């Protein structure tokens, strides 16, 4: 169907509805709705019997197994709270290996013998559900005839209410396991890894003289990048609807070269969406802190403050769900694909990770004099040791087909995993290794040349934006996660490998008969010396670094099929089994699921590319060719004819590649998809995008980048 500019005019229309406006006095903290829809600690204290509340909190604080006798009292209070808020149904929300959340809704109400209904919800129903869920991927853990899967209540992540125009739903965060006990989700391994790290870190703290802390928590603060486009454009693009990214699209005359969108004034419709999303997330207890324009036109970012890794992971899944839902209220669609538009900045999810004790101490806080802070240096060295040993696994933890369009490009960290420490920490560790020089760095200030402006403290550890794993003040920022990804597996990996490194360093302390301070310094020096090849402070995008990394023995795993075997590497299996985070069978299941998801996603993209090229773009090009031939403009006709023939041949080659060879499956099929289907797709796109540049605008059937990215 011919396209006309009037469609763009229609897409640009938006009128604020003022639905969120009111006269509430937000100077009163009680008027801000944070946590209003959460079965929070305050709600539990109010509604549970005092002894039940104390027993439940003691269980959670001490990390002990849940006493089933508490469940009935909790279930009753939770049900009454939910009914009062209009919830007719409840769901055990879990995170299967698809990477998204899953839910099955059950009614509170059961028919009674007198023809009425009773609202019931028992402790048994709270603790365990049976969603069946036989069609979720299991990677061979569970055969088709073994249909049952079980959800288990996670009391460490609070239940919440999701509101709908026609009612409300009680959502209970749960784990998901097979009837044989294997983890079929992302939550169970994350919880296991958090316990493993806590145990190892407490062991280290005891050796370091801390006898107060009893638990160590890992925390995460993810920075979520995303695109917003008008929904009219979205539904005119079969590729966006089916795959989440544009499979065709010529570069516009203007992209983000001027950097005029980055941190710019937020467009009114976008700001309305942001404020509405943040209000919903506040009610759900998600501590959103930051919003701003990102680099690419049409790209934005949302970031919360730090939370416990398990709760933060749950909240991140909820954040993506809320943003996609709220966007539609404003005639927008929220795109979470890692690379929805070729040639412009992609979207990631920076994973800010740290460790803290139950006594309130951040183990990665350097303090005023980090050179004298042996506790900090010990845990920092353990992270360096862990990342170097398991660099391939960390790369695999952020691998998916969307990431392959982003990692290694100039808007994202490279596929080579390295650590940036900053000048101050580099100086300290070098001095410890060499035994020479003063590791202390005096404080310095930046003068701005105007007396009205205050001097600013200069931070020697200012972040390196090209580093995939950077120390940023009191945390490590794992910058390689993709926009659409769950936080759970990358943080499971981080927790487990750091637990292993801490234990190995503790073994060194146990065997060293020297003074504690001397023993710690020696162990830190050893860890640094043996693993410093993973440290790099320069530009990670430079070709020279790739060559240098190869000389250092660092891995450069370009694509998902290159990275996935690291999930089954001997070092991976040994660490995961030692800490009982994932068994070999559970690791194998994930490897199979992720390889299959890559091949299936690539096939969907390839089939969609073929269909769009043959049925939408080629007919438009032929009509244009007929137009210029009829006009007798031979120069234009020759150009169009040549491209049409090239395009037709590329489509045929792609259709041949889409016929899968018999017998290929798993990683072998993923490699075929990468090397044949995606390669053939790229050739079709190359010619298609050249055609977009010459075909009459009113004949081209797809919204263009210049429209989708800039009409707000």
pLDDT of 29-83, one tens digit each? 777 888 999 999 999 999 999 988 988 888 777 766 667 778 888 988 999 999 9
Cα 229–chain centre separation: 21
CA distances in angstroms from 281 to 38, 206, 308, 411, 669, listed in the order given:
11, 39, 17, 28, 40
Query: Among residues 159, 185, 211, which one ends one of the domains?
Result: 185
CA dihedral 40, 44, 45, 47 (to 10 degrees): 140
**Which of 155, 185, 215 is at the close of a domain?**
185
pLDDT digits 0-9 by tens, 592-630: 999 999 999 999 999 999 999 999 999 999 999 999 999
| Helix, strand, or coil (residue 688) | helix
Alpha-carbon distance of 602 to 674, in angstroms, equals 7
Q: The pTM is what?
A: 0.93
**How many CB atoms sit inside 10 A of residue 327's CB?**
22
Please check whether residue 704 lies inside any domain of the structure.
Answer: yes
Q: Does residue 260 surpass a pLDDT of 60?
A: yes
Q: Is the pLDDT reported for residue 465 higher than 80? A: no
Whether 562 is covered by a domain: the verdict is: yes
Mean pLDDT of 504-510: 92
* Neighbour count for residue 687 (Cβ, 10 Å): 23
pLDDT value for 179? 77
636, 689: one domain: yes
**203 and 138 both lie in a single domain:** no
pLDDT of 288-325, one tens digit each?
Answer: 999 999 999 999 999 999 999 999 999 999 999 999 99
Give the range of the structural domain holding residue 10, as residue numbers without chain letter. 6-14+32-185
DSSP codes, 304-359: EPPEEHHHHHHHHHHHHHHHHHHHGGGTEEEE--S-SSTTS---BEEEEEEEEETT
Contact predicate 500/578, CB 8 Å: yes
Q: What is the CATH number of the domain that holds 91?
A: 3.10.20.70
Q: H or E element: which one contains 607?
A: helix 584-612
pLDDT digits (tens, 9 = 90+) for 2-11: 555 667 777 7
Cα Rg for the chain, rounded, in angstroms? 28
**Residue 135 binned pLDDT confidence (cut-offs 50, 70, 90):** confident
Strand, helix or coil at 410?
Answer: coil
pLDDT at 707 over 80: yes
H-run or E-run covering 531: helix 516-531
Asked if 261 contacts 219 with a C-beta cutoff of 8 angstroms, the reply is no
Instruction: Examine the domain organization and report whether 253 and 364 are in the same domain.
Output: yes
Same domain, 574 and 634: no
Across the chain, what does the average pLDDT equal? 89
The domain boundary, picked from 132, 165, 185, lies at: 185
The per-residue pLDDT for 457 is 64
> Is 145 among the domain residues?
yes
For residue 451, pLDDT over 80 is answered with no
Coil, helix or strand at residue 372: helix
Mean pLDDT calculated for residue range 168-172: 94
Query: Range with the lowest mean pLDDT among 39-53, 139-153, 170-184, 381-395?
Result: 139-153
Question: How much is the pLDDT for 116?
Answer: 63
20 within domain boundaries: no
Percent of the chain topping pLDDT 70: 90
Cα angle: 155, vertex 34, 20; to 5 degrees: 135
Minimum mean pLDDT among 276-280, 342-346, 459-463, 509-513: which range? 459-463
> Is 113 found in the same domain as 211?
no
Sign of the dihedral through C-alpha 167, 171, 177, 181:
negative
Q: Above pLDDT 90, what percent of the chain?
A: 66
Q: What is the mean pLDDT of residues 506-529?
A: 89
Say if CB 667 and CB 561 are below 8 A apart. yes
Q: How far apart are CA 532 and CA 418, in angstroms?
A: 10
Same domain, 482 and 604: no
Q: How far, in Å, CA of 631 to CA of 315, rounded? A: 60
Span 323-349, average pLDDT: 95
The confidence band for 166, taking pLDDT boundaries of 50, 70 and 90, is confident
CA dihedral of residues 660, 586, 570, 413 (deg, nearest 10): 70
Q: What is the CATH number of the domain that holds 619?
A: 1.20.120.1560
How far is 275 from 302, CA to CA, in rounded Å? Answer: 11
- At 88, which helix (H) or strand (E)? strand 87-93
> What is the token pair recorded at 34?
């944070």
Question: From CA 389, how far away is CA 497, in angstroms rounded?
Answer: 8
User: Is 589 a member of any domain?
Assistant: no
- Does 450 reside within a domain? no
Q: In CATH, what number is assigned to the domain containing residue 525?
A: 3.30.590.10
Same domain, 176 and 285: no
Q: In this structure, are 321 and 253 located in the same domain?
A: yes
Which helix (H) or strand (E) segment holds residue 547: the answer is: helix 543-552
Query: pLDDT, tens digit, for every residue of 663-696?
Result: 888 999 999 999 999 999 999 999 999 999 999 9
Average pLDDT over residues 181-192: 93
DSSP state for residue 393 in the 8-state scheme: H
Q: CA 162 to CA 164: how far, in whole Å?
A: 7
Tokens found for residue 712: 């707000």
Is the same domain home to 170 and 287?
Answer: no
Q: To the nearest 10°, the Cα dihedral for 501, 503, 506, 511?
A: -110
499 part of a folded domain: yes
pLDDT of residue 70: 82
The average pLDDT across 358-374 equals: 90
Domain membership of residue 588 (yes or no) is no
Domain check: are 155 and 247 in the same one? no
Q: How many distinct structural domains can be found in the chain?
A: 3
Q: Do 491 and 564 reside in the same domain of the chain?
A: yes
Instruction: Identify the three-state secondary structure at position 86.
Output: coil
Indicate if the pLDDT at residue 1 is higher than 50: no
Helix or strand or coil: residue 631? helix
Rounded to 5°, the CA angle 487-488-491 comes to: 85
Does residue 560 share a domain with residue 614? no
Q: Are the beta carbons of 429 and 374 closer than 8 angstroms? A: no
Task: Give the model's pLDDT for residue 459.
Answer: 62
Q: How confident is the model at residue 125 (pLDDT cuts 50, 70, 90)?
A: confident
Residue 420 pairs in a beta bridge with 470
DSSP string, 130-176: ----TTS--TTSS-TT---EEEEE-TTS--EEEEETTEEEEEEEEEE
């Amino acid at each position: 169907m011919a396209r006309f500019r009037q469609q763009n005019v229609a897409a640009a229309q938006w009128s604020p509805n003022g639905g969120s406006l009111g006269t509430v006095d937000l100077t009163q903290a009680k008027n801000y709705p944070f946590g209003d829809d959460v079965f929070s600690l305050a709600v539990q204290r109010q509604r549970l019997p005092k002894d039940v509340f104390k027993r439940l909190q003691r269980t959670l604080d001490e990390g002990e197994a849940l006493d089933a006798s508490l469940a009935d009292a909790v279930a009753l209070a939770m049900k009454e709270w939910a009914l009062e808020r209009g919830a007719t149904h409840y769901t055990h929300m879990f995170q299967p290996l698809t990477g998204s959340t899953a839910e099955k809704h059950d009614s509170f109400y059961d028919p009674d013998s007198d023809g009425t209904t009773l609202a019931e919800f028992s402790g048994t129903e709270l603790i365990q559900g049976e969603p069946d869920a036989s069609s979720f991927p299991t990677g061979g853990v569970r055969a088709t005839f073994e249909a049952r899967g079980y959800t288990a209540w996670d009391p460490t992540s609070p239940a919440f209410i999701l509101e709908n125009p026609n009612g409300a739903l009680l959502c209970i965060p749960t784990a998901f396991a097979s009837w044989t006990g294997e983890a079929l989700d992302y939550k169970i391994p994350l919880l296991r890894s958090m316990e493993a790290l806590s145990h190892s870190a407490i062991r280290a703290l005891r050796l370091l003289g801390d006898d107060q802390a009893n638990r160590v928590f890992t925390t995460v603060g993810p920075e979520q990048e995303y695109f917003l486009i008008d929904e009219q454009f979205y539904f005119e693009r079969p590729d966006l609807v089916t795959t989440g990214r544009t499979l065709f699209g010529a570069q516009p005359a203007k992209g983000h070269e001027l950097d005029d969108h980055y941190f710019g004034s937020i467009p009114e419709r976008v700001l309305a969406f942001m404020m509405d999303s943040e209000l919903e997330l506040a009610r759900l207890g998600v501590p959103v802190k930051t919003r701003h324009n990102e680099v690419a036109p049409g790209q934005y970012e949302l970031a919360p403050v730090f939370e416990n890794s398990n709760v933060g992971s749950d909240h991140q899944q909820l954040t993506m769900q809320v943003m996609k839902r709220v966007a539609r209220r404003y005639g927008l669609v929220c795109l979470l694909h890692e690379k929805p538009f070729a040639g412009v900045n992609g979207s990631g999810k920076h994973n800010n990770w740290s460790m803290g004790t139950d006594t309130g101490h951040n183990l990665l806080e350097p303090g005023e004099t980090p050179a004298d802070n042996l506790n900090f240096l010990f845990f920092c060295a353990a992270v360096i040791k862990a990342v170097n040993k398991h660099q391939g696994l960390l790369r695999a933890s952020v691998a998916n087909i969307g990431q392959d369009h982003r990692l290694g490009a100039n808007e994202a960290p490279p596929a080579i995993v390295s650590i940036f420490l900053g000048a101050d920490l580099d100086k300290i560790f070098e001095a410890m290794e060499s035994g020479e020089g003063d590791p202390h760095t005096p404080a310095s200030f930046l003068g701005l040349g105007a007396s009205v402006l205050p001097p600013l403290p200069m931070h020697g550890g200012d972040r390196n934006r090209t580093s995939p794993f950077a120390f940023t003040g009191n945390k490590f920022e794992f910058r390689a996660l993709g926009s659409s990804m769950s936080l759970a597996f990358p943080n499971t990996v981080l927790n487990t490998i750091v637990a292993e490194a801490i234990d190995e360093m503790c073994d060194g302390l146990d065997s060293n008969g020297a003074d504690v301070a001397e023993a710690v310094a020696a162990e830190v020096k050893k860890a640094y010396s043996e693993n410093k090849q993973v440290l790099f402070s320069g530009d990670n995008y430079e070709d020279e670094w790739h060559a240098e990394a190869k000389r250092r023995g660092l891995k450069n795993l370009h694509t998902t099929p290159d990275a996935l075997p690291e999930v089954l590497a001997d070092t991976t299996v040994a660490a995961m089994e030692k800490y009982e985070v994932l068994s070999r069978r559970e690791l194998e299941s994930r490897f199979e699921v992720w390889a299959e998801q890559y091949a299936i996603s690539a096939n969907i993209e390839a089939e969609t590319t073929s269909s769009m090229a043959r049925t939408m773009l080629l007919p438009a090009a032929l009509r244009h060719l007929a137009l210029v031939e009829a006009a007798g403009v031979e120069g234009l006709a020759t150009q169009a004819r040549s491209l049409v023939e090239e395009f037709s041949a590329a489509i045929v080659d792609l259709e041949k590649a889409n016929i899968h060879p018999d017998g290929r499956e798993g990683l072998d099929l993923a490699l075929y998809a990468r090397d044949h289907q995606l390669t053939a797709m790229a050739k079709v796109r190359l010619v298609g995008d050249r055609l977009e540049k010459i075909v009459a605008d009113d004949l081209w059937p797809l919204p263009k980048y210049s429209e989708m990215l800039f009409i707000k």
